[in-house]
Every structure is written in C-alpha cells, then in structure tokens.
Structure 1
Amino acid sequence: MASIHPAARIGLVSIKVASLERSIRFYQSLIGFNFVKEIGRTAELSTDGGRPLLLLEEVPNPVPLARRHAGLYHFAILVPDRKSLGLTVRHLAENGVPLGQGDHWVSEAFYLNDPDGNGIEIYADRPRDTWEYEPTGAVRMGTDPVDVESLLQLAGNERWEGLPAGTTMGHIHLHVSELPATRRFYCELLGFDLMAMYGDAAMFVSAGGYHHHIGLNTWAGVGAKLAPEGAVGLKDYEIVVPDIAAFSEIEARLQAAQYPCEHEGAELRVKDPTGIAIRITAR
C-alpha cells in the first residue's frame, strides 16, 4: 500500500462563525493571528501576513455548535518552540482565557475554544529524535501535566507579539461517524500512515512519521451526523502535498476505488466517509 508523500501537511482550515467581527477580534488579539484580507462574509488570517492558515466565514442565522455532531474536534496551531508556547500561554492566562493542557510526550499542548465553541489546540513539539515508537511503528503518546512553570520562565518578561514566524497548522482532529471506513479512506486511499489506535474509538494518522496530522474519533457517538449546513463549525480543511506527482497519486487511488471526487482547477475536492469536506492541493 503506497503512502502519501512524507512532506504532506495540513494547510488552510476554514471555519464557520456567527460574527465575523467578533471572531477576527478574538483570533487577532488573543490567539495572535495577523489579518490578511476580508472579502464579503469571509476573512483570511495568517501569522506572517502571507499565505493564510485560517479562514473565517460568517454564516447568516447561525445554528449553535453542538458536540453531538460529527465535524471539528479541534484544529491545532503548531508554534516553533517552547518559548513561543510560554509567551502564548502567559498572554492567554493574563486575559483570563480558560485553558486545558496536556504533555503528550511528543508535544506540549494547551486547549481552548473560540467564541462559537470551535476547538483550538496550541502546541509545541518536542525534538523529533526524542520521540519513542512501538515495534509496530506506532508513536508513543500519553497525557501528563505540562510543566507550565518552566514554560513561563522561558517566556520571562518578553513582550508577546502574536504567533511567531514559523507557526503552522500542525494537525486537525475530527469527530467522525465510525472508524473502519474512515481508516480505509485516510490510510488506503489518501495514503496516510496509521500512527496510533486508541481502542475502537480513536486513531491518529500522519505523513512521514509525524505523530499525527489528522486525529479521528467517535467520541460524539458512532453514527454521529454532520451539523446542519447553517451551523457554526468546520467548513473544510486543506491537505497540501509538495508536487503534482504526489497529487496525481492520490487522485489515481481515489479514481481506482471509484470514490467520488472533483478536480476543480488546482484542487481535488473530496469528502471523507462522514461527509467532512477536504481540499487537496499541490504546493
């Protein structure tokens, strides 16, 4: 079974929000994104003023987010080092933002929600040569308390200036309706490698041995359906591969399996078995 190109990664994540003005303010002033541009009911946000990492789309008469639905669990913003994570955590704490946290052995992470309840993770990876793997190739991950004090010591009194250069969209974690067909789609058709299974309720897949680019779980319930079209939450997300050859390999696997997909311009558009929309691009 062929694997997706090892340099594949998560690109632009698009989410639906109730108030564009409120969400822009939240993502700029608290999370640290830079504003790129606003077009109608949408806004693009980046960390360097260039290619956007996050797209916000205001939906009219929005339906509130319900956790019983499939869709977004969280999108994960990867900062380049522990000091950057410490600066961000200090800033969020100073502004009274409630945070969850976890030391996952391969990374240190903090969790919060935006004003619409969309889940966000902000994290920093540990050096890759310190990660441990099972004989099967699965990465060893757990959840311990984060050493918050050492992060804050690294931050010191340095001024917070938003998300630093080098910040990326590290991964995305999704509520799905079931795992067997989901595993076939992401691993056999798209070509991601299975990195970890958590019983029969969750799995992590990745490219190039990363701990996970996509988390998939049935914690919203087996058989969970997507929220209504007018609800806030995930609109779609992007998988980026580095060249046309890698793009064409994915398209060929989908077509050979007669899996529905559409080639629109430079994008391949497809929905996973739950109905979550994905855009695959070569860049």
Structure 2
Amino acid sequence: MKYHNKPNTFVELVELKVVDLKRSLEFYENIIGFKILEQQAEKIYLTADGETALLSIEQPANILPTQQKTAGLYHYALLLPTRADLGAILRHFAEINIRIGAGDHLVSEALYLNDPDGNGIEIYSDRPDSEWKWENEYVEMATLQIDAQSILAEGASTPWNGLPSGTVMGHIHLHVGELDATKKFYQALGFDVMTPNYPGALFMGAGKYHHHIGLNTWAGVGAPPTPENVVGLKAFTVIYPTNEELQTAITNVQEIGSDVSEDNGVFIVQDPSQNKIKLTIK
C-alpha cells in the first residue's frame, strides 16, 4: 500500500449523501463489510481497520434520489491488500447472490457494484507494480474480462470476515463536464496524467501510481453538477505528506482561479464540475 502512504499524496475519506441512513448502513456492514467507527445522529463514519475512516454516509434533510447525466461520483474504489482478499469477497458476493460487474485493467483486477442509492463502488486488488507496463511516463490500462475462477481459487482458503484491516481508499473516479480544465485543476493539486488515451477519460496519480483520480465525460460533455439536495458525493479528502506540499497545492489552484476556504485547518476547494475536495495533511 505504498502509494497510499507518505511520501505520496492520496485520497482517503469519501463522504456520501444517502436517502435512508439505516438502509445504507445495513448494506455497507453486511454486503461490503465495513465496521462503524463513529455514529452521529445523521452521519456515520465507516472503517476497515477500526482506526481510519474511509467512507461516511449521511442523510440530509429533504434529500432527493439520484439524477442521471450529471457530474459527480462515478465510483469510489476500495483497494484490498491481496488478490486472495479479492477472491474471498467475490465468493461472498456469489454466496449472497449480489450482482456485480468486473474488469481486468492490466494494473489491477476489479469488481463493481452500486449501493442502494446508486453510488458506484469498485473493489479491487493491484497487480504488483513490477508487472505494470509503461510507455515513457504513461502506464498501460485497459478493460478486459477477469479470470474469475483464478481469483476465486486464490481466495479459496481466505475467510471473508468483512473488509480486511489493510483496505484503503484506492482511488475516486468522477463524472466531469469536460476534461481539459479538470486535468489542469488536478495537476495543480499534485496529480500527474498516468493514462491519457482512454476513451472519454483520464487517469491521474501521484508517485507513479496508476491512478488516485479518475475523470470521465461519460455522463456527457457539459454535464451539470449534481444539485446539493441530491444523493451522491458530498466531498472527498486528499491527504498530503507535508504541509509544504499542501501549501504548494493551495497556491497552485488559486493561481488557476479556484477559490480556497478553510475550516479547522482543512482547506476546501471545488473542481470545475463543483466536486468538493478537502485538502489536509496526516
């Protein structure tokens, strides 16, 4: 998990708005395997290791169901420690008859599903980075069929007891209105283009990771932001390894015209599609 620790910049907490908090908690505990870290009246923080919040769910007043063809969350992605862990959760999904999608992305193997509100979830394991294929500064990615039997076989002796404690927030993938200005924004935050030629999408990462940030225009070029009172992404947090790198990111986004506010030492900014990002150090 070296790409999700110092000295790298990475994504950690993803905050979601949901219609029914009780329904969502049941899904995230029983289907995905999270544990409760902290429970408030209208917001619950979820964890894999009992210490770090990876996801929060909250039920705002007068929240409306999801709308199609808007910018916002495409999926957030939970990175499991091993391929055997991926096999264990794949077996778990099969045993409880959960319908999923899947993809072999060359750098990783991934499973896909939605929560009860339609928020997209990816659960994946990385192939060793020694096996990633590079062309200059770009890494090769694709979407191929997974070898489900091989993944299941690898996890055959690994019990499923919820998300393994080593699970991290691997990346977040966003619907955006257009790619060019959005690319410049995330470059200002410290992420580099890792895969530039995927149809309608860009993948950006820090520290030569295949991606911490995915961007796509699959909801349509010019897709409007998701309204505040609609379920979906509320915010996500980017963790910087040093205060110096955090301050550099703040200066960079201000120089390209983004407004930055501060709340108890956490800096808040919005990308060109009004996805809200919290910037901090750990």
Q: TM-score, normalised by structure 2?
A: 0.95
Q: String of CA shifts for 1:56-99, please: whole Å, max 9, x gaps.
A: 01123332112311100000000000000000111011111111
SS at match of 1:252: helix
What is the deviation of 1:258? 4.1
In the TM superposition, structure 1's runs of 4+ consecutive aligned residues that sit over 4 Å from their partners are none
Distance, in Å, in 2 between the alignment partners of 1:15 and 1:254 is 24
Where in structure 2 are the equivalents of 1:203-214 lying within 5 Å? Answer: 203-214=202-213
What is the deviation of 1:200? 6.6
Distance, in Å, in 2 between the alignment partners of 1:185 and 1:256 is 10
Distance, in Å, in 2 between the alignment partners of 1:9 and 1:162 is 23
Where in structure 2 are the equivalents of 1:45-64 lying within 5 Å? Answer: 45-64=46-65
Counterpart in the other structure of 1:253? 252
The number of aligned residues is 277
Counterpart in the other structure of 2:271? 272
Counterpart in the other structure of 1:72? 73
What is the deviation of 1:199? 5.7
**1:175 alignment partner AA:** H
What is the deviation of 1:256? 3.4
Distance, in Å, in 2 between the alignment partners of 1:175 and 1:236 is 14
- Which piece of structure 1 moves more, 223-232 or 247-256? 247-256
Q: TM-score, normalised by structure 1?
A: 0.94
Q: String of CA shifts for 1:133-187, please: whole Å, max 9, x gaps.
A: 113x111011121111111112225431011011000000000011111111111
Counterpart in the other structure of 2:3? none
SS at match of 2:225: coil
Counterpart in the other structure of 1:144? 144
CA contact (8 A) 1:64 1:116 kept: yes
**1:248 alignment partner AA:** Q
**2:55 alignment partner AA:** L
- Which piece of structure 1 moves more, 198-207 or 146-155? 198-207
Counterpart in the other structure of 1:35? 36
- 1:134 counterpart = 2:147: no
CA contact (8 A) 2:7 2:241 kept: no
Where in structure 2 are the equivalents of 1:164-243 lying within 5 Å? Answer: 164-187=164-187, 189-198=188-197, 201-243=200-242
SS at match of 1:53: strand
> Aligned in 2, Cα 1:158/1:207: closer, same or farther, shift over 3 Å?
closer
What is the deviation of 1:233? 0.5
Distance, in Å, in 2 between the alignment partners of 1:79 and 1:171 is 12
Distance, in Å, in 1 between the alignment partners of 2:198 and 2:240 is 30
SS at match of 2:53: coil
Distance, in Å, in 2 between the alignment partners of 1:49 and 1:144 is 34
CA contact (8 A) 1:103 1:146 kept: yes
Distance, in Å, in 2 between the alignment partners of 1:224 and 1:198 is 21
Measured on the aligned residues, the alpha-carbon RMSD in Å equals 1.4
SS at match of 1:74: strand
> Aligned in 2, Cα 1:84/1:209: closer, same or farther, shift over 3 Å?
same
CA contact (8 A) 1:59 1:231 kept: no
Distance, in Å, in 2 between the alignment partners of 1:249 and 1:77 is 28
CA contact (8 A) 2:191 2:206 kept: yes
> Aligned in 2, Cα 1:14/1:162: closer, same or farther, shift over 3 Å?
same
Unaligned segments of structure 2, at least 5 residues = 1-5
Distance, in Å, in 2 between the alignment partners of 1:59 and 1:263 is 22
